[in-house]
Structure 1
Amino acid sequence: MTQAQPSSSFQQIDREGLVQRVAKLLSKAIVSGKLAPGARLSESVVARELGVSRAPVREAARLLESSGLVRSEPNRGFFVRQVSIKALNDLYELRLAIETAVVERLVQNWNEELNATLTAQVAELHRVATDEADIFTQVEADMQFHRLMCTGSDNPKFLQVFEQVAIETEFSIMLIGQLYDDPTRIAETHEPILKALRARDATKAVSSIRYHISEAQRIVIDQFRLLEEGKTST
């Protein structure tokens, strides 16, 4: 049984928003690969490294369980969730449903502020690609574009659900290591979405977001399948 623990020390934190802050630190450790799928999340080890009691760590783990990053086993504790092809398909199906509705709302709400915000984020995507930033930074910039779309939709429920699927999406991409051989492709794939929104063309906006997410789904699942085949052949 895998008994992996956090591989690097955390900075101690104060009591304000303690559970949420512990959850954020743990989710970053999971998404970045410091805690691998199947690894046990030791409450005592995390509590000691953070300088807190075990109670907020346990509560944070339950938050991560609700977001799909960890699972609990009776009398054994919490473990980083294993990923399956079905789970990945379910995840991207949910993203399609949410973000299709989001772009329809954005077309209705479109204004110069939204244009400036999303244009700046596409520029940021190009910047991190040009700077050859690590994959975690690139994926975070990618998710931020979609987060800003959800915020601009003016429906807080879209944003609330997106925050959950964003964590799982980051986890799935970090697990396979990359999306495209050329990092600039991540930035480029957002441009048709922005172009359709600028034109306030709902049909093109929906088709653009559907293609964008469906293509990411195809790549992630294909690479995940190769990863799994490689494990079983060794």
Structure 2
Amino acid sequence: MIAHPEKNKQEPQSVVCYEHLIAQMQRGELVSGMSVTEQGLADELGISRTPAREALRRLESDGLVVSEPRFGMKVRELGYTETLELYEAREALEMAAVQICATKINDIEISELEILQDKMSDSVDDSNRMASLNYAFHRALLNAGKNRYLATSFEAIHKALVLLGPTTLANVERAEESLIEHRDLIECLKRRDSEGARRVMGEHLSNAKRIRLRQINQRLVDGN
């Protein structure tokens, strides 16, 4: 993600501003409950208030921020129950998607997944790069399923995941475990084993959910 508009002059400032805010959420620098104002954002990035306003409105449309009278916008809070619901929806969607993917994927698409997997293996110590590659891996699976409605739902769920902050792959043990699960999934796809792919994806996402809910519980214990 881009952190300063001057690095992306070809992009509209509102888009760069939007991506900057998304990146801050993903890194845990902008967390649930924090306020963001047009003026503060404009000052931070050295832009006018108009693109800052447009970026915040887009985030509001995405459901990532809510209007806070007299204080601008506030990052929406995602509690334990809603996080659980989000992961349940993700499991249902991606398990169904990979089952379809196994019947439609071609050898070139499998090779692309293997390339992404290799890049992830080389990036275990870089959680931001791991998160980006992991998204690309799951996005490639959805694309291989060739179902536009599943793809649209996937995007909505992954936007909401931004509210949870840093990826669970920041935990090196989880990152290495995830790589094994990805390899098992690729093997199922090579065999065109739709039921096996569904099972592996279910285990993969269940493990991610377990880590995420543990993190939330710990924050509740710590009082944050």
Q: TM-score scaled by structure 1?
A: 0.83
- Retained in 2: the 8 A contact 1:31–1:167? no
User: 207, 210, 214: which one pairs with 2:202?
Assistant: 210
Contact 2:123 2:129 in 1 (8 A): yes
Aligned-residue offset at 1:173: 5.3
Which secondary structure state, in structure 1, belongs to the residue aligned with residue 73 of structure 2?
A: strand
2:176 is the alignment partner of 1:165:
no
SS of 1:181's equivalent in the other structure is helix
Name 2:24's counterpart in structure 1.
Answer: 29
Alignment of 1:156 with 2:129, yes or no, is: no
Match of 2:135 in 1: 143
Deviations 1:66-103 (A, max 9, x none): 33322222343211222311121121122122212211
Matches within 5 A, 1:191-202: 191-202=183-194
1:111 Cα shift? Answer: 0.8
TM-fit CA distance, 1:149:
0.9
Structure 1 141/171 Cα, relative in aligned 2: closer, same or farther at 3 Å? farther
Q: 2:53 & 2:148 partners in 1: Cα distance?
A: 28
Instruction: Provide closer, same or farther for how the CA distance between residues 25 and 208 of structure 1 changes in structure 2, counting only shifts above 3 A.
Output: same
2:66 aligned residue (71, 90, 102) = 71
The answer on whether the counterparts of 1:180 and 1:186 sit within 8 Å (CA) in structure 2 is no
Q: 1:177 to 1:139 in 2, by over 3 A?
A: closer
Confirm or deny that 1:10 pairs with 2:7. no
Q: How far apart in 2 are the matches of 1:41 and 1:176? A: 25
Identity across the alignment (%): 25
**In structure 1, what is the equivalent of residue 89 of structure 2?**
94
**5+ residue gaps in structure 1?**
1-8
Distance in structure 2 (CA, Å) of the matches to 1:157 and 1:101? 12
Judged with a 3 Å threshold, the aligned counterparts in structure 2 of structure 1 residues 160 and 195 are, in CA distance, closer, same or farther, namely same
Q: Within the alignment, does 1:51 sit opposite 2:43 as a pair?
A: no
Work out whether 1:188 is the aligned partner of 2:180: yes
Q: Is residue 139–residue 170 contact of structure 1 (8 Å, CA) maintained in 2?
A: no
Structure 2: gaps spanning 5 or more residues: none
Aligned counterpart, 1:82: 77
Matches of 1:39 and 1:218 in 2, distance apart?
Answer: 26
- Residue 176 of structure 1 and its aligned partner are, at CA, apart by 7.0
Aligned CA RMSD, in angstroms, stands at 2.4
1:27–1:69 Cα contact (<8 Å) kept: no
Match for residue 219 of structure 1 among 182, 189, 211: 211
Match of 2:103 in 1: 108
Q: Give the count of matched residue pairs.
A: 221
- Which letter maps to 1:224? I
For residues 158-216 of structure 1, the C-alpha deviation after alignment (integer angstroms, 9 at most, x for no partner) is 33332332243354251778445363223122122111111111111111111111121
Partner of 2:221 in structure 1?
Answer: 229
Does structure 1 residue 118 correspond to structure 2 residue 127? no
Q: Does structure 2 conserve the Cα–Cα contact (< 8 Å) formed by 1:42 and 1:78?
A: yes
